[in-house]
Amino acid sequence: MAQHATGGRTNSLRRALIPLALAQFICSFAGSNMNVMINDISKDLDTTVQGVQVAITIFLLVMAALMIPGGKLTDKYGRKRCFMVGLAVYGVGALLSAAAPGLGVLILGNSLLEGVGTALLIPPVYILTTLLFTDLPSRARAFGAISAMGGIGAAAGPLIGGLITSAISWRAAFVFQALVVGAIIWLARDLRDPLPADPHRAFDIGGAILSALGLVLVVTGILAADNNAWLMIALIVAGALVLFWFFRSVGARERAGKEPLLSTSLFHNRASNLGLVTQNTQWLLLTGVSFVVAAYLQVVRGYDAIETGLIFTAETLGLLAASLAAERLAKRRAQRTLILGGFLVTIGGVGVLLAMVIGSPSVWAFAPGLLLIGLGLGLMLTPSVNVVQSSFAEELQGEISGLSRSVSNLGSSLGAAIAGTVLVAGITSSPERSYALAMVVLAAVGVIGLVASAFLPAGLAPPTATPSSLPEDSSGDPVT
């Protein structure tokens, strides 16, 4: 009887995991599939490569800017409700994008509505996973599946988007997103929320505005780099000041006994802080490489959407292979080791991508580097999520989930903004030099992630116990 009950619970959790993993897949897919439509969209909507880059970056930026408030709203309105509302908003945005007559409507549908929908639905994915999978081994497996689907969605986005664009049109790719979202809503109809909503819980509106404004200013400043250096500096400085104001307001609210948007205790855990850095750089690398290679292939070498998408198959296969091995590797190796190894392989992949492509007319020159990048990212995406998400108890899951996803999506928006800006600035006058410079910048980002992972606590062993139940030392780090 007990075995039957256990088996029933296991099946129930598996059913719950399917819509959660699919939701992460489609949101990651949306962040990368437009890269292979750059030429098609710019011609159809009478805009430029830079215009499409702005639309892509705004989508990623809206996600990053609203992910923290989105995570906090789950406590007030419930995780399942935010998940379903986010899916509905996303679906409307996808359909609006499919019918867009110009760049403005595309930005409204894809960049804004899909971005807002993602910010509402992604935090519940990670919160519900943490709450439903109560023991760390099963939680690690669940996060592994979700992270794998996210990575595969980002890596396979160019291939799937290219196939749909070439077979039908770029607009059909947005219809595909809407259909997947509809399927997720149906699959999630019986999804259980383990914690009740608290409609009377306070929400820090001022903090939400300040955090979003600060992030928007910083990334907008990076986008302005190729137009006006002084404007770039002014926007980045303004964004930094607004973020400083945000953290001051958080401290003031806590001292006054009010609930802030983010608890300052989230930043007292060294392992989690370093894990956030690795998450940011991982997604920056994934999105940056995807945009640079896709833009270079289409604009410089004249490849169409399907040809460009097929080239990314190597990265997708690498991510899939590493993700499938993630659970087995997590049992044998410490999480720090996996993250360090992942960065080393990824940086090596960027180096190979740089060395083999310059001066080579062969399209196959891209395959080895993309394969290594996929393997490296697949190796470390899941451990980084585990390090951050499992560092806190249930009452902080809404906040850490929002912060974690915001940091990851900020990495994605920075990847498109930084690498894209470097490439687009000289893609017509000096394409080889711009491509090389963009890859060097991405390799430097990888080194930052490598250094951060080297400082992760050595005691981050394979998942065997719940970190929130472990004793802490004076720095707030779990003692293992």
* Highest mean pLDDT of the ranges 85-99, 145-159, 343-357, 395-409: 85-99
pLDDT of 464 reads 39
- Per-residue pLDDT reduced to its tens digit, 244-303: 999 889 888 888 888 888 777 778 888 888 888 998 899 889 888 888 888 788 777 777
Quote the CA–CA distance of 213 and 242 in Å, as a whole number.
7
* Highest mean pLDDT of the ranges 53-62, 212-221, 365-374, 430-439: 365-374
The encoded tokens of residue 149 equal: 């689907």
| Residues contacting residue 67 through CB under 8 Å, at least 6 positions apart | 119, 122, 123, 402, 403, 405, 406, 409
Compute the CA torsion angle 287, 292, 297, 302 (nearest 10 deg): 110
The encoded tokens of residue 158 equal: 């160019």
93 has a pLDDT exceeding 80: yes
Specify the range with the lowest mean pLDDT, choosing from 6-10, 41-45, 181-185, 379-383. 6-10
Quote the CA–CA distance of 58 and 415 in Å, as a whole number.
12
65 has a pLDDT exceeding 90: no
Question: SS3 of 472, please?
Answer: strand
Mean pLDDT (the chain) is 80
The mean pLDDT value for 72-99 works out to 91
Quote the CA–CA distance of 293 and 281 in Å, as a whole number.
18
Number of Cβ atoms within 10 Å of the Cβ of 302:
9
Helix 170-187 and helix 79-98, axial crossing angle in degrees, nearest 10: 160
Alpha-helix residue ranges (DSSP H) falling in 168-226: 170-187, 205-223
Residue type for position 148: A
Q: What is the CA radius of gyration of the chain?
A: 21
| Residues contacting residue 189 through CB under 8 Å, at least 6 positions apart | none
The encoded tokens of residue 79 equal: 């995780």
* Highest mean pLDDT of the ranges 341-350, 381-390, 392-401: 341-350
Q: Mind giving me the DSSP string for 354-385? A: HHHHTT---GGGGHHHHHHHHHHHHHHHHHHH
pLDDT of 22 reads 92
Residue type for position 299: V
389 has a pLDDT exceeding 90: no
More confident residue, 72 or 95: 95
pLDDT of 463 reads 43
Task: Say if CB 336 and CB 175 are below 8 A apart.
Answer: no
DSSP 43: H
pLDDT of 469 reads 32
The mean pLDDT value for 364-371 works out to 87
pLDDT band at 371 (very low <50, low <70, confident <90, very high): very high
466 has a pLDDT exceeding 50: no
Residue type for position 47: T
Residue type for position 23: A
| Residues contacting residue 1 through CB under 8 Å, at least 6 positions apart | none
